[in-house]
Structure 1
């Protein structure tokens, strides 16, 4: 559980979803780079390894009732805030190109307005055409701080400017430990960092539930094949349920990271999904005129056809090569 001003809690409702998807975004980013710089100083100053360790700690605390609350230090609380800020890209990416339609944007803004009502935050930017990163950063930080003991984590820079005597006096006056700002998680060998990151992602995936998997009947798939593949809504319907996993890109970017092409084939249809600008195929779905469906699958795509249930289950897995 997580230690908040109102006692030990786990996140619920839409707040939990925003936290979870923001944390998943950070996990993805930390696989391919790092350390991250999100604008939360106590987290930004850490190397990649400590960032991964802290993300696991706060994710488990915020989502699992059986988890003991971590001791609060600036770095721990900053990691909690960082998980909310991980959701910022999902807001801002569509706004950077407002002329390009993004089928996920309405859902994202609806979630944020819903969470603002759930926690009585008092405000949420309404006119997305005039938003900037600073406004959304402030919104997400204020949301995170509703579930924190306090906001002392953000005062580290001010303490750095104090003499040792002044800092000690300030620590005592604020009832915070001498190591509150200096504490760091125990060092972890480099070869264990990826396992910790994967464990964290497993918790997030489990919490995301069945929405992380696309399940369509063959009738639905045929309908998709008949629609124009230039329509981003169609692609969105294919990949939107991948939230919480590690698709080819963060889930909100997938509509612009993949090309979907349709070609008539012997009275039927062919749907090909490939990385943008590449001829490499992730998966190919052939639907013949008689309704026969064949799936040609490539790494890193897992496709399972359940003929008895008349379902096709498609999961796009992590793809380092893209």
Structure 2
């Protein structure tokens, strides 16, 4: 196959880690230090005048903080630099209209994670059909579940390699997410169907209100409210990024469309009437000649697909408001 028929792909692969009881506190200490570093950096950013908010000044502040605060020293230097890089990129995304402004990270409302920006530091080895070993800075050699072939050893090259990783803790324990860069054949154009996607808070997990009604008060209100906050706080921009490369990998494409109005417009008759969005989950068209009813997110997704089919897409020149609206409310059409 010729070089022109190849394309550079970047994707992630998550594997389960097996940490000993002595290694778990070390990983947690690094994650807490990374979160604290982010919060200190955000406080410094807000305190400094605008002309002092430079990358060099921020780098000096990070280095000084690691010297002054002992508990920050558990975080490897490269991981601390990764926090700085991520924070600066978060502001760039905000200025370009792709995301909201960065904020402080709460202890119980953010995932525990530590970035390992250099892939060469991992020193990955496969020791068994089901297990591999990876080197984690300041933690040691750790076993992980081998579920996918990785470009290591003689199979690694400049085009096919592991560029870094991230340690992540969730309800199932500690995992490692490898960042893999590969050179793959360009897929043939996908000639399948088209689908519109709408971000829904109620459909994926619950339709019923967390608080209930006076006649039927709900149970576990605090837990459900926290769950809804977690859903709303999901990184939808990252979801769009993942959909983009996954559809491209199989020959498809992902297109953004303007989001305003798609939740209030009836997908059956195309008329927008007041009061049609009866709740977060239910849409009932108030047009006397229509009366269509259905799931509100499904209705919005149908409108999104219709906008794509008539050629109304959110081009980059459409402006910051359109891009932000498309990110926060409506992910794009996939075909």
Q: What is the TM-score normalised by the length of structure 2?
A: 0.24
Structure in which a larger fraction of residues adopt strand:
2
Structure in which a larger fraction of residues adopt helix:
1
Q: What is the TM-score normalised by the length of structure 1?
A: 0.24
By relative contact order (CA 8 Å, sep 6+), the higher-ranking structure is 2
Structure showing greater radius of gyration is 2
